[in-house]
């Protein structure tokens, strides 16, 4: 191999290493309200939990009425017995019925 080729390969490797070191992973966290999450669940037709809850519990549910959707949420019965306190609620209508999101402390 020629000396020029070796220099070019070394430079290419160094530039690649510098580029790899300069890359950063950026995580964007968006905190949404229970109502926004219920609307998103209704829009997509899927029951999904929010990823960031600041230490709170979250229940999601769906049903033929808003009340049925709330009763279908995780931890709802525990909240009715006083074990958890409801701090935020959201309900939205979707093509497959009503979707609810309830957050508890």
SS3 88: strand
Query: Contact 90/39 with Cβ under 8 angstroms?
Result: yes
For residue 13, the model assigns a pLDDT of 62
For residue 90, the model assigns a pLDDT of 97
For residue 23, the model assigns a pLDDT of 63
Block mean pLDDT (10 aa), the chain, length 105: 62 57 55 91 90 80 98 96 96 97 94
The pTM assigned to this predicted structure is 0.69
For residue 2, the model assigns a pLDDT of 62
Sign of CA dihedral 66, 69, 70, 71: positive
């Amino acid at each position: 191999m020629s000396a020029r080729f070796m220099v070019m390969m070394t430079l290419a490797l160094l530039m690649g290493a510098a580029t790899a070191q300069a890359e950063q992973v950026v995580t964007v966290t968006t905190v949404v309200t229970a109502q926004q999450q219920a609307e998103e669940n209704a829009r997509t037709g899927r029951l999904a939990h929010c990823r960031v809850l600041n230490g709170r519990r979250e229940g999601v549910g769906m049903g033929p009425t808003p009340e049925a959707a709330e009763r279908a949420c995780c931890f709802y019965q525990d909240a009715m017995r006083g074990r958890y306190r409801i701090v935020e609620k959201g309900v939205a209508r979707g093509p497959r019925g009503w979707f609810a999101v309830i957050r508890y402390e």
